[in-house]
């Protein structure tokens, strides 16, 4: 009861505060402080002794003997306005994106970064580990440079290529689509749930209490990070991808389109120390790209008992199409959720 009350109160705060329209666009921003830093991550060290003559500046070689690699951190750009509110907003991008998501929109309007600065929020904009300005990965990767943008046009639900959906909010200006495609960035290392949630948890250790704003792929990552770090006081999640996590017994048994599978399973990919004593329910919600993500496999359909539901997902999707379900009924997801376990 107490838990639910606290959660509801936090959700209310988050929603009310994000909806408040107390600032004027185009007035100057007054910034008390801004800058950037890396946070979290790990260090890999190759055994042996580094020789600054044989391997150093005068003889640069790829010999890693005795050398280190600092990687798997997040990059964070922050701005604190004058007369700032108490809780900052931490913005976490989705699949194939970077912190650019929250800056200028593809059609050139102010993004959430600046909009919420105007509303007196300190804002922290993340590039998650192995993405964008946090591309230094401890694991190697090959980036294929594969043309795939028409697929993403659909996955991000802009329309059915080459047409935008009727009444979609995305600008019909071709320059906007050009900018949207160009804000895409590849994974500079394997996608890894633990690496991502550890880095963002480290960010909340550094900055203290705040509100996490997630999008798509970072939907499930945000909830998993909230389980690790009580400084996450609320989550606002747009089009959350991956799996939803609820305290046991609190998952709504709602159908999702034609999919009614309700998964009951301890949260996968979480450290037992953080998971206990709660057990969590996962509910598959994002039928698009997320289940095709590389990585740990933690973001996947799971069922009671834990067996993979990937096959069932795939069959359900094919059935839907075989019956001629039009693509423009592809679900548009928005969720404002507070899931902080107390």
Tell me whether residue 8 or residue 67 sits nearer to its own copies (CB atom): 67
Q: Determine contact, residues 221/200, Cβ cutoff 8 Å.
A: yes
Please, what is the minimum distance in Å from the beta carbon of residue 110 to its own copies? 7
Please, what is the minimum distance in Å from the beta carbon of residue 245 to its own copies? 24
β-strand partners of 74: 39
Active site residue 276: no
User: Of 239, 211, 238, which Cα lies nearest the Cα of 225?
Assistant: 211
Q: By three-state DSSP, how is residue 237 classified? A: strand
Structure tokens at 121: 């929020």
Cα 134 to chain centroid distance, Å, stands at 14
Q: By three-state DSSP, how is residue 74 classified? A: strand
Please, what is the minimum distance in Å from the beta carbon of residue 13 to its own copies? 27
CA distance 106 to 195: 29
Active-site residue among 135, 216, 237, 337? 216
Tell me whether residue 121 or residue 223 sits nearer to its own copies (CB atom): 121
Q: By three-state DSSP, how is residue 198 classified? A: helix
CA distance 128 to 57: 31
Tell me whether residue 91 or residue 153 sits nearer to its own copies (CB atom): 153
Tell me whether residue 199 or residue 226 sits nearer to its own copies (CB atom): 199
CA distance 165 to 183: 21
Please, what is the minimum distance in Å from the beta carbon of residue 1 to its own copies? 41
Active site residues: 216
């Amino acid at each position: 009861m107490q838990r639910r009350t606290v959660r509801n109160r936090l959700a209310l705060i988050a929603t009310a505060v994000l909806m408040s329209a107390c600032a004027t666009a185009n007035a100057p921003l007054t910034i008390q402080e801004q800058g950037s830093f890396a946070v979290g991550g790990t260090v890999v060290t190759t055994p042996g002794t580094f020789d600054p003559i044989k391997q150093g500046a005068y003889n640069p070689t790829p010999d890693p003997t005795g050398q280190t690699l600092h990687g798997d951190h997040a990059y964070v750009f922050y701005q604190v306005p004058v007369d700032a509110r108490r809780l900052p907003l931490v913005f976490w991008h989705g699949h194939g994106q970077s912190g650019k998501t929250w800056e200028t929109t593809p059609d050139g309007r102010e993004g959430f970064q600046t909009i919420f600065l105007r509303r007196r929020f300190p804002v922290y904009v993340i590039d998650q580990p192995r993405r964008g300005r946090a591309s230094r990965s401890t694991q190697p990767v090959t980036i294929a440079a594969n043309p795939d943008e028409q697929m993403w046009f659909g996955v991000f639900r802009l329309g059915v290529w080459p047409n935008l959906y009727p009444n979609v909010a995305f600008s019909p200006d071709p320059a906007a689509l050009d900018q949207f495609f160009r804000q895409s960035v590849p994974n500079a290392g394997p996608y890894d749930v633990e690496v991502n949630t550890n880095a963002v948890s480290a960010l909340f250790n550094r900055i203290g209490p705040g509100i996490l704003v997630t999008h798509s792929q970072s939907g499930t990552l945000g909830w998993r990070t909230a389980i690790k770090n009580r400084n996450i006081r609320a989550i606002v999640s747009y089009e959350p991808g991956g799996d939803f996590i609820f305290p046991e017994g609190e998952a709504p048994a709602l159908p999702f389109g034609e999919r009614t599978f309700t998964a009951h399973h301890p949260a996968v990919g979480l450290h037992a120390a953080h998971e206990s004593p709660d057990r969590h329910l996962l509910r598959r919600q994002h039928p698009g790209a997320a289940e095709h993500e590389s990585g740990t496999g933690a973001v996947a359909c799971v069922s009671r008992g834990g067996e993979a539901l990937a096959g069932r997902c795939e069959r359900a999707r094919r059935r839907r199409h075989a019956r001629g379900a039009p693509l423009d009924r592809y679900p548009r997801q928005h969720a404002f959720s507070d899931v902080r376990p107390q």
